[in-house]
């Protein structure tokens, strides 16, 4: 069983103890909630099952067999075999409930009935991702009558005090994230709505593996997120969900995420409650509290055009898509004047889009879209279908252009569009600034790798990596060059960076090794190694961890 894949999932429950009381005269089912979190490792399909264990001893001294009491326990939403299938794109969480109910008229053996929650792979059922520690359901006798009320009350009070103290201690040990969604109570149609998500770590412990998830609610056409000032792209979009992998959040610190949304002109009201969730490696999910529970979309006049990018921050050589959305705000029997002519929804005019390509970008395809023609390479004119709101609903037209960033720019270059009416006059315009950063390769740590065909390796170079080691004690290489043809064959590791033998190792020409002890951790971290050729027979190696110089050495090499 791969240690890496076991750590790809985490299962937690909100129970304050590993035993839950249940009275034999209780007619209501007992629900035990679990949270199954996908930490990393790519898409996965898993099956969640419950595994009953041997129950309390009978009068004969033998325990109640697991298969005898298994029908009392079920997984909410499971199929006839008791299996619940869950699908994860990459990271995220799902809530599942174990339900326990005694059959009517049964007289069960009193005592503890333990079980475990198990996460198995769908494609390979023999592959176990997680097996939660046993939880016991303590089946107790009937509740005491009036004669035992005082004694029972004392026991209950002691239990409440114990659970309260234990719960407080447990709560204080957790890393708590306070999440706020700052948004507007009203916004006009045809405008991009700027929102801010603030994530505050209020405890004295670092929150690791912080992940933000935004699910587009009804009434939002598109959404994009980014981390202001981040050196790399942190956020991605998958269907109607935006994910942001935010790394570690230091104790008593605040992280800000910019979230832009485009309201649907037909929306009326957008719900903001429960749309943003933040998880970390140490705690249950935190749901963002919105400053406005709803956002009212007010009507607009004339025509509207807005821009949306598939990425909040673009990286060099990584394709992205810019979406152009346009519509006519007239519905019903409304009239307006365009080009000196009366316009109604029964007399729609055809509009064109003029798109201006900013510096540092190129089109991925030629032509960029079938409905487009070049005025110049940096000016693209595209025809839109005639707006038709005859059914009383505003019809939103969408045009998508695939682009590739070619260079990092000092300022965020702006994508600009103008909506031209039938007379060639500007009817509406919009702009979208988009920051371009350096690219980085992302590996899942299991079977992803990249090879470079080096014919002449440089003698001075810098290696910069964001890594998340899967363990502290296993040998693992983050980057290396092994036995390059033409290099002295006695040297197997020409260059290597990795964890092994209790430290972070940098190996140059097989024998020149620098070891930094006491820095190994499984949280995401930034490792930088600078190799500088000082003279024909001397080289210097500097190692940085999260931007802090760890060591600097000079070798004869």
Residue 531 resides in a domain: yes
pLDDT band at 340 (very low <50, low <70, confident <90, very high): low
Find the mean pLDDT for residues 89-113: 85
Q: Residue 487: what pLDDT?
A: 52
Distance, CA of 547 to CA of 543 (rounded, Å):
9
Classify residue 233: in a domain, yes or no.
yes
Highest average pLDDT, of 141-150, 223-232, 439-448, 501-510, comes from: 223-232
Report the distance separating Cα 419 and Cα 538, nearest Å: 63
Q: Which pLDDT belongs to residue 11?
A: 84
CATH number of the domain bearing residue 315: 2.60.40.10
Same domain, 120 and 262: no
**Which residue shows structure tokens 């990092």?**
408
Torsion on CA atoms 29, 104, 19, 160, rounded to nearest 10: 70
| Boundary (domain end) residue, out of 85, 115, 142 | 142
Write out pLDDT tens, residues 13-26. Answer: 877 678 889 988 88
Residue 395 has pLDDT above 70, yes or no: yes
Residue with the bigger pLDDT between 133 and 148: it is 133
Confidence category of residue 6, pLDDT binned at 50, 70, 90? very low
Verify that 465 and 433 share a domain, yes or no: no
Please say which residue of 142, 169, 195 terminates a domain.
Answer: 142
Q: pLDDT at position 2, please?
A: 32
Q: What is the mean pLDDT of residues 510-518?
A: 71
Question: What's the domain range around 524?
Answer: 461-555
The pairing of beta strand 30-38 with beta strand 9-13: antiparallel
Looking at the fold, whether 245 and 332 belong to one and the same domain comes out as yes
Same domain, 236 and 327: yes
Burial of 322 (0-12, 13-18, 19+ CB in 10 A): buried
CB 399 within 8 A of CB 353: yes
Q: What is the mean pLDDT of residues 398-406?
A: 93
| pLDDT surpasses 80 at 167 | no
Cβ within 8 Å of residue 321, ≥6 positions away: 309, 310, 400, 401, 402, 403
**The pLDDT value given to residue 404:** 92
CATH code for the domain in which residue 523 is found = 2.60.120.200
Q: What is the reported pLDDT for 18?
A: 82
Per the domain annotation, does 244 fall within a domain? yes
Residue 106 and residue 202 share a domain? no
Give the pLDDT band (50/70/90) at residue 511: low
pLDDT computed for residue 253 by the predictor: 93
Clarify whether residues 229 and 345 are in a common domain: yes
CB atoms inside a 10 Å sphere around CB 70:
15
pLDDT digits (tens, 9 = 90+) for 192-211: 999 999 999 988 888 888 89
What is the pTM assigned to this prediction? Answer: 0.52
Choose between 449 and 304: higher pLDDT.
304
Q: Which residue has the higher pLDDT, 213 or 160?
A: 213
Which of 112-121, 145-154, 157-166, 493-502 ranks highest by mean pLDDT? 112-121
CB 312 within 8 A of CB 232: no
Are both 307 and 395 inside the same structural domain? yes
Same domain, 183 and 113: no
* pLDDT reported for residue 168: 52
DSSP string, 277-293: EEEETTEEEEEPEESSS
Q: For the chain, what is the domain count?
A: 3
Which has the higher per-residue pLDDT, 76 or 391?
Answer: 76
**Rounded mean pLDDT of the chain?**
81
Specify the pairing of strand 352-356 against strand 186-188: unpaired
* Domain's final residue, options 118, 142, 166: 142
In angstroms, the CA 540 to CA 459 distance is: 11
Residue 492 has pLDDT above 90, yes or no: no
Residues 214 and 280 in one domain: yes
pLDDT per position as a tens digit, 304-336: 999 999 989 988 888 999 999 999 887 755 555
DSSP per-residue letters across 496-531: EEEEETTEEEEEETTTEEEEEET---SS-EEEEEEE
Cis peptide, bond prior to residue 77, ω within 30 of zero: no
In a domain, 208, yes or no: yes
How many other CB atoms are found less than 10 A from the CB of residue 149?
A: 11
State residue 306's pLDDT score: 96
Over pLDDT 70: what percentage of the chain? Answer: 79
Return the HEC string of 133-145.
CCEEEEEECCCCC
Pairwise CA distance, residues 50 & 313, whole Å: 43
- Asked if residue 344 lies in contact with residue 333, where contact means CB atoms within 8 angstroms, the answer is yes
d(CA 399, CA 366): 15
Arithmetic mean of pLDDT, 386-401: 86
Same domain, 374 and 432: yes
CA atoms in the 13 A half-sphere facing the CB of 236: 11
> Does the residue 549 lie in any domain?
yes
Provide the Cα torsion 449, 454, 457, 462; round to 10°.
Answer: -30
Please give the distance of CA 57 from its chain centroid, rounded to a whole number. 46
Question: Using an 8 Å Cβ cutoff, are 81 and 108 in contact?
Answer: no
DSSP letter string over 393-412? SPPPEEEEEEEEE-S--SS-
Contacts of 9 (CB under 8 A, 6+ apart): 36, 37, 38, 39, 46, 119, 129, 130
For residues 529 and 400, membership in a common domain is answered with no
What average pLDDT does the segment 379-391 reach? 87
Question: Does 496 reside within a domain?
Answer: yes
Report whether pLDDT(509) > 90: no
Flag the least confident range among 24-33, 242-251, 397-406, 548-557: 548-557
Which two tokens mark 505? 């190792």
- Is residue 155 included in any domain, yes or no? no
Percent of the chain with pLDDT over 90: 32
CATH number of the domain within which 58 lies: 2.60.40.3880
On whether residue 182 sits in a domain, the answer given is yes
CB atoms within 10 A of CB 19: 12
Residues 501 and 541 in one domain: yes
């Amino acid at each position: 069983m791969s240690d890496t894949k076991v750590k790809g999932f985490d299962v937690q429950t909100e129970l304050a103890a590993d035993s839950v009381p249940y009275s034999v005269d209780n007619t209501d089912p007992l629900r035990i909630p679990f949270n199954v979190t996908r930490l990393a490792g790519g898409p996965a399909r898993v099956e969640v099952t419950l595994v009953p264990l041997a129950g309390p001893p009978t009068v004969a001294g033998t325990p109640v067999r697991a298969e005898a009491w298994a029908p009392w326990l079920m997984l909410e939403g499971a199929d006839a075999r008791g299996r619940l299938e869950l699908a994860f794109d990459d990271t995220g969480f799902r809530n599942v409930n174990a339900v326990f109910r005694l059959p009517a008229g049964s007289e069960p053996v009193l005592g503890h009935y333990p079980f475990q929650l198990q996460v198995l792979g769908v494609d390979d059922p023999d592959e176990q991702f997680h097996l939660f520690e046993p939880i016991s359901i303590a089946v107790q006798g009937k509740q005491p009558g009036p004669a035992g009320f005082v004694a029972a009350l004392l026991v209950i009070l002691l239990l409440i005090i114990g659970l309260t103290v234990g719960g407080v201690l447990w709560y204080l040990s957790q890393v708590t994230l306070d999440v706020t969604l700052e948004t507007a109570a009203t916004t006009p149609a045809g405008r991009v709505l700027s929102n801010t998500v603030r994530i505050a770590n209020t405890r004295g412990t670092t929150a690791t593996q912080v992940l933000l998830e935004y699910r587009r609610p009804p009434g939002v056409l598109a959404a994009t997120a980014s981390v202001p000032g981040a050196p790399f792209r942190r956020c991605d979009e998958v269907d109607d969900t935006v994910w942001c992998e935010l790394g570690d959040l230091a104790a008593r610190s605040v992280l800000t995420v910019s979230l832009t949304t485009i309201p649907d002109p037909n929306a009326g009201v957008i719900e903001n409650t429960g749309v943003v969730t933040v998880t970390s490696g140490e705690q249950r999910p935190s749901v963002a509290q919105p400053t406005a529970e709803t956002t009212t979309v007010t009507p607009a006049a004339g025509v509207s055009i807005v821009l949306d990018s598939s990425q909040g921050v673009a990286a060099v050589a990584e394709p992205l898509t810019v979406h152009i959305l346009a519509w006519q705000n007239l519905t019903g029997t409304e009239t307006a004047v365009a080009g000196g002519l009366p316009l109604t929804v029964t007399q729609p005019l055809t509009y064109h889009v003029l798109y201006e390509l900013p510096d540092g970008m190129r089109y991925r395809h030629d032509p960029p879209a079938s409905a487009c023609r070049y005025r110049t390479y940096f000016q693209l004119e595209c025809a839109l279908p005639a707006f038709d709101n005859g059914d009383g609903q505003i019809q939103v037209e969408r045009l998508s252009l695939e682009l590739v960033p070619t260079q990092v720019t000092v300022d965020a270059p702006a994508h600009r569009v103008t909506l031209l009416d039938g007379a060639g006059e500007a009817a509406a315009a919009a702009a979208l600034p988009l920051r371009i950063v350096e690219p980085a390769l992302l590996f899942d740590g299991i079977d992803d790798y990249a090879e470079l065909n080096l014919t002449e390796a440089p003698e001075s170079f810098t290696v910069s990596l964001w890594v998340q080691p899967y363990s502290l004690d296993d040998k693992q290489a983050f980057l290396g060059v092994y036995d390059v043809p033409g290099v002295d064959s006695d040297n197997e590791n020409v260059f290597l960076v990795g964890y092994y033998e209790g430290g972070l190792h940098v190996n140059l020409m097989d024998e020149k090794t620098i070891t930094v002890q006491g820095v190994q951790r499984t949280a995401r971290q930034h490792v930088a190694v600078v190799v500088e050729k000082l003279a024909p027979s001397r080289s210097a190696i500097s190692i940085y961890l999260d931007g802090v110089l760890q060591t600097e050495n000079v070798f004869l090499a």
